[in-house]
Structure 1
Amino acid sequence: MSHPSPAQHPQPEQSAQPAESVWRLPGLLPLVGMTVMGFGGFATLMSVVPLWVVRGGATETGSGLVTSSLLITTVITQTFVPRLLRRFGHAVVLSAGLIALGLPSFGFALSSDLAPVLALSAVRGIGFGILTVTGSAVVADLAPPARRGAAIGAYGLGIAVPNLIFLPLSVLVVDAVGFTPVFVAGAMPLLGIPAAVVLGRIVRSHRAAPRQPTTRPSNGRRRQDVLRLMLPAGVLLSVTLAGGALITFLPQLVSGAGWPRSGFLASIGLLVLNGIGALTRWLIGGVADRRGAGRLMIPLLVLGAIGMVLLAVSLHRSNVAVLLIGLGLVGCAYGALQNLTLLSAFQQVDRSRTDTASAVWNIGFDSGTAIGSTLLGFIATQAGFVPGVIVLGLLMLAALPAAWRLAIHPQPPGLAVRNDR
């Protein structure tokens, strides 16, 4: 069979206090607080800025480019974050990232033309790249391996709750009041800077402990790590293709189907998608610590693909109930697989390489979101939203071989012992 995960055979020092709440881990509360502010600003603008450029005359393809512009610079930035953290420290890098993510929000109110909106989105992508890689790497650094699933679940709440609240609320506010209040609220990452400074101090003291390795891996070791990380990143990419496309296009997708009160229905749909996603991302962590991450991925990929089929059926037949059921199933897969693939990514590398695991995982997440929104926008322009939704559902099933491989071999040989030290 496979090499057991740390959760399956915890070391004595990790199991001495199993009942202690994961929220008591040093640094977790400032991490979650900073994450809520950062992702709050991100979620507030995620569906609104593409809608803003459509109001300014852009096509669906141009609307998809808004998300792509943000996430292209996100992915590029993510490749440099581990080096930036080693050179400048967490407090400085995180504070700069929150400024880059929050400050450009004020600029959107000045123009709905595509070019300046794309430029501002690109700047925000730099900040988002810093926030995503650093946040998930810190979780692995602060939590012992046997508690990582639960800690990732808690961190996931800091990501999912802002999506749950601000994604649908921002669309409602645009319909009721207009875009300007939403652009002001999009600057909330600036409020997370104090928590980032506190977190930086905790991480610095934590990494000064003797248990942290000081040797730097060879280039060959880095390449091996990245190759192993392709499996969880590939599974993640398949589900974020669908999730990113739906978050970007759901308001337009619903209005194009001709339903009355489309703005309200889109808000409800985003609430279902992200609400169930938040719940499953949180709850799956403890289950994964006990059962292993890989074996849970397969049914979730199938469930997400079924949800996309139901979504396509609902658009074809204008059935609101089927729409919401489909979004719920996709949300279940979208939320749970984020937790499981991140946990699996940390299992692929030594504990000293969690920054690399975080960077690769986040590149998979944001690449999927960018490609998904662009792909759905392109197919919708050519053939409509229904074929685009079906294609994204099929791409989820294409990740089943990678999930099967992770279920059989959750950890490379030798890493189970090293990670638990």
Structure 2
Amino acid sequence: MSTTTPDAATGSVWRLPGMPALGLLSAFGFSGYAALLSVAPLWAVRGGADEAGSGLVNGVLLAATVVTQFAVPALLRRFGHGPVIAVGVLLMGAASPLYLLSDALGPVLALSAVRGIGFGILTVTGSAVAAHLVPVHRRGAAIGAYGLAVAVPNLVLLPASVAVAEHWGYGAVFALGALPVLAAPFAFAVARALGPADRVTERTPRIDRGSALAVARPTAILFAVTMAGGGLLTFVPQIVGSGTASAVVLLVLGIGTALCRWGAGHLSDRYGAERFLAPLLLTGVAGLATCAWGASRDGDLGLLLLGAALAGVAYGALQNLTLVVAFARVDPGHIPVASAGWNIGFDGGTAAGAVVVGAIATAAGFPAGLLFLAAACAAALVLTVPSRR
């Protein structure tokens, strides 16, 4: 862990060495992800894809992300954080303008896979760096601050991107998707701040079976709630129909996500994370059921806004709390491995939500797809009982 300052105990975590660079790296990097999350599927629909095909766009993006996340700890051992993160953000940003070459499903899926490789690198390294830069007792606040840097691009660009595509064309959105290129210099600043923690040491022992199982529990909870997020973020524009109205729904979802992902960190530092898991899952179930009701009423905007607000609370807070629980179950040397596992759950869930809701919607409509997501969150309640370990 890097050397801390007197502010490490009581001051803002943003004053700690490396945290500002991590914030800028995350903001630029996740801007490229957020700008295209809802628009890339619409681009495929413009090229003739149906609901199942448009669901595959984010499904392929996040499948490539998950596959890459397995390899990130080994890449960090070999090359260190600076080069690895820089390559990741360059892959994300450079691929975005190339969507303009074709709206056919095949090329769209191929470019989404390239972006997914870069995104896999960014996600694993970002959350692990946030844990390494601060003392353990400030970890919840640091993860919350990192989560805020991640959530702000989603808050701004997710709703705005659909409206921008509708009024100024897809080219403007694909230009925004190139923003991760600007994050490359901050990758090396983060590596310098990490100091000895820059590389995952070859002497780090393999994670034991008990720790792996303990990390799997919060990761499975995360998988359920990110399935919900993946389904909503991919298909809200198609459920609502209007670009302006869908932008409002996505904005409400984004506000809830950003505020609760940030605020949950302070709650977990003070009261512990475990006690909040079950109530938040129930909040997500209520939000998804309300969204399904709204979708069944021809995209009723009032119901969709209420459902998005509730779902955003669960989606944001559980991102923070499940990561805090996962990191608490391993020693510092295993944090990159735990981060990889958590991020695999996050992006695997997001991909599954997009693909499954697309398939269900093709056969039975969007309300059925959203009810499936609600049922998945309800099923995850059995995992909120802490393990003895």
Give me the TM-score of the superposition, normalised by structure 2: 0.96
- Within 1, Cα distance between the matches of 2:250 and 2:24? 23
Alignment of 1:286 onto 2:277:
no
How many residues are paired up? 385
- Seen in structure 2, the aligned counterparts of structure 1 residues 283 and 145 have a Cα distance that, compared at 3 Å, is same
Q: CA deviation at 1:48?
A: 0.4
Alignment of 1:358 onto 2:339:
yes
C-alpha contact 2:148 2:261 (8 A) present in aligned 1: yes
Moved more, 114-123 or 195-204: 195-204
C-alpha contact 1:295 1:404 (8 A) present in aligned 2: no
C-alpha contact 2:69 2:121 (8 A) present in aligned 1: yes
- Within 2, Cα distance between the matches of 1:76 and 1:206? 24
Larger fraction in helix = 2
- Seen in structure 2, the aligned counterparts of structure 1 residues 106 and 222 have a Cα distance that, compared at 3 Å, is farther
Match of 1:245 in 2: 231
Match of 1:122 in 2: 113
Alignment root-mean-square deviation, CA: 1.8
- 4+ residue runs of structure 1 moved beyond 4 angstroms? 13-17, 205-208
C-alpha contact 2:292 2:370 (8 A) present in aligned 1: yes
Unmatched segments (≥5 aa) in structure 1: 1-12, 256-261, 413-421
The amino acid of 2:17's aligned partner reads P
C-alpha contact 1:14 1:146 (8 A) present in aligned 2: no
Match of 1:149 in 2: 140
SS at match of 2:17: coil
- Within 2, Cα distance between the matches of 1:308 and 1:240? 12
Which deviations, in whole Å up to 9, do the C-alpha atoms of 1:367-414 show, x marking residues without a partner?
A: 0000000000000000000011011001001111111226xx5xx3xx
- Within 2, Cα distance between the matches of 1:22 and 1:106? 35
The amino acid of 2:211's aligned partner reads D
Identical aligned residues as a percent: 50
| Equivalent runs, 1:22-421 vs 2, <5 Å | 22-205=13-196, 215-218=203-206, 221-255=207-241, 262-318=242-298, 319-405=300-386, 409=388, 412=389
- Seen in structure 2, the aligned counterparts of structure 1 residues 237 and 17 have a Cα distance that, compared at 3 Å, is closer
Q: CA deviation at 1:226?
A: 2.2
- Within 1, Cα distance between the matches of 2:350 and 2:60? 11
- Within 2, Cα distance between the matches of 1:253 and 1:240? 19
- Within 1, Cα distance between the matches of 2:365 and 2:201? 53
Q: Which has the larger radius of gyration?
A: 1
C-alpha contact 1:14 1:144 (8 A) present in aligned 2: no
- Seen in structure 2, the aligned counterparts of structure 1 residues 206 and 366 have a Cα distance that, compared at 3 Å, is closer
The amino acid of 2:204's aligned partner reads R
Which deviations, in whole Å up to 9, do the C-alpha atoms of 1:259-304 show, x marking residues without a partner?
A: xxx1111000000001111000001101111111111111000000
- Within 1, Cα distance between the matches of 2:336 and 2:34? 24
Q: CA deviation at 1:197?
A: 1.3
Q: CA deviation at 1:17?
A: 6.2
SS at match of 2:151: helix
Which deviations, in whole Å up to 9, do the C-alpha atoms of 1:72-125 show, x marking residues without a partner?
A: 110000001011001101000000001111101011001000111111110111
Match of 1:3 in 2: none
Give me the TM-score of the superposition, normalised by structure 1: 0.88
Which deviations, in whole Å up to 9, do the C-alpha atoms of 1:185-220 show, x marking residues without a partner?
A: 100000001111111111135559xxx9884214xx
